[in-house]
Amino acid sequence: MKFIAITVFLSAIASQDVIPDIASAAAAAGAAASEAAGQLGIAAAASAGIAAGAAAASDGIAAGAAAASDGIAAGAAAASAGIAAGVSAGVAAASSGIAAGESAASAGIASRESAASAGIAAIASSANAQASNSGSTTTTTNSSPSPSSRSSSSSSSSSSSSSSSRSSSSSPSSSSRSSSSSSSSRSSSSSSNTSSASVVAKISLSGIFVAGLLASLV
């Protein structure tokens, strides 16, 4: 019992002198450990934040580069499509213009040729009409007082620069040509010559007009 009492007494004495020092040391060690842990936590957090920021920056840069590439590709495709559409439209417009020009030229040539043909036909018809209408007919009848001599000349006509003179006389005893027949023939010949000259002049003028038309078509 004495031994136990001594042990308890010594323990009480020791606890009064040593325990405060141990508590102070433990508190200092805890504070140091806490500070070290805090510094380690701060450093770890900073490192983690820096790494996360770098990763985010890399991801952002990659996304931006991809978006830029997509935009450039889309712009190039749109430009190519626009150029192709413009070229196609230009070619189509040029083809339409060329076709319209050729059609107009063909129509103009056909119209000129038709007008020239119509003019030539009209000139030829007019010349033929003038030639057919330029003939003259002269009839002369001469009766003598004597019943034995009677002459009549008729039917002197020319058509298209040809003349015919016909004279007939009848008498109970004989037939003779009178001077009126020769006069009628001379008149018909002169009229035929005048008509021929007029037709030749008109045909020459028609030829000059036709040549002018043909020259305008060239």
User: Who's near 168: CB < 8 A, 6+ residues apart?
Assistant: 151, 152, 153, 154, 175
65 located within any domain: yes
134 located within any domain: no
Least confident of 52-56, 92-96, 196-200: 196-200
Q: How far is 218 from 216, CA to CA, in rounded Å? A: 6
Q: Is the pLDDT of residue 12 over 60?
A: no
85 located within any domain: yes
132 located within any domain: no
Q: How far is 200 from 192, CA to CA, in rounded Å? A: 12
Task: List the structure tokens of 164.
Answer: 């015919």
Tell me the average pLDDT across 29-56: 83
Q: How far is 52 from 44, CA to CA, in rounded Å? A: 12
Q: pLDDT at position 167, please?
A: 38
The count of domains in the chain is: 1
Q: Helix or strand or coil: residue 176?
A: coil
83 located within any domain: yes
168 located within any domain: no
| Total residue count of the chain as it appears in this document | 218
pLDDT band at residue 119 under the 50/70/90 scheme: confident
Which strands sit side by side in the sheet containing 163-169, from one edge to the other?
137-143, 150-158, 163-169
Residue 32: domain span = 20-99
Tell me the average pLDDT across 75-93: 90
Q: How far is 55 from 62, CA to CA, in rounded Å? A: 11
Q: Is the pLDDT of residue 188 over 70?
A: no
pLDDT band at residue 193 under the 50/70/90 scheme: low
| Ordered DSSP codes for 61-120 | HHHHHHHHHHHHHHHHHHHHHHHHHHHHHHHHHHHHHHHHHHHHHHHHHHHHHHHHHHHH
The rounded Cα 99 to chain-centroid distance in angstroms is: 7
pLDDT > 90: percent of the chain: 5
4 located within any domain: no
- The pTM of this model reads 0.33
Least confident of 16-20, 76-80, 172-176, 186-190: 172-176
Q: Report whether 156 contacts 137 (CB < 8 A).
A: yes
For residue 18, the tally of other CB atoms under 10 A from its CB is 10
- The residue ranking higher by pLDDT, 137 or 214, is 214
64 located within any domain: yes
